[in-house]
């Protein structure tokens, strides 16, 4: 399934959906040259961008995603959370095993903390995986 980038533009002022694209100057970039004489040493280049405006009032319209796009993004983000949870679990598990194999004095609390963080990371990954399968 590809990215279903569907939705609509709507004006925040009048709630109209009749819109058009226009070009607008969004900023400027200036450069000053070290030139002697009567020449203006500053060169200004405007930065232009395309904006979507309401035909009724001219306000910049806001983009709203459709229901399919919102569902797609939620499923995609849940998959990323699953991967991050599993990677975090593996890292904390390996760190806890390394600390326990060293047998250093006073590191028992740190070792237990790493194992607890590992378990929590795996639970986060599993819950994200389960929630993405239900949708």
> What local confidence, expressed as pLDDT, does residue 80 receive?
67
CB 26 within 8 A of CB 48: yes
Closest CA to 19 of 67, 51, 65, 66: 51
CB count, 10 Å around CB of 125?
20
Question: Given this model, what pLDDT does residue 1 score?
Answer: 45
Q: Which residues of 8-44 are buried (b: 16+ CB within 10 A; e: fewer)?
A: ebebeeeeeeebeeeeeeeeeeeeeeeeeeeeeeeee
Give me the sign of the Cα torsion angle 20, 23, 24, 26. Answer: positive
pLDDT reported for residue 31:
80
* Averaged pLDDT, groups of 10, the chain, 135 residues long: 71 92 86 74 84 92 85 72 72 71 64 73 66 54
């Amino acid at each position: 399934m590809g990215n279903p980038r569907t939705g609509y533009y709507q004006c925040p002022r009048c709630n109209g959906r009749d819109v058009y694209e226009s070009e607008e100057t969004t900023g400027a970039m200036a450069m000053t040259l070290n030139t002697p004489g009567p020449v203006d040493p500053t060169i200004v280049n405007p930065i232009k961008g395309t904006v979507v405006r309401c035909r009724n009032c001219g306000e910049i319209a806001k983009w709203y995603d459709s229901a399919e796009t919102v569902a797609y993004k939620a499923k995609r983000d849940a998959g990323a959370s699953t991967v991050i949870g599993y990677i975090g679990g593996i890292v904390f598990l390996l760190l806890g095993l390394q600390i326990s194999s060293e047998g250093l004095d006073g590191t028992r609390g740190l070792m237990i903390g790493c194992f607890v963080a590992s378990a929590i990371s795996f639970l986060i990954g599993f819950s994200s995986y389960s929630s993405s399968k239900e949708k």
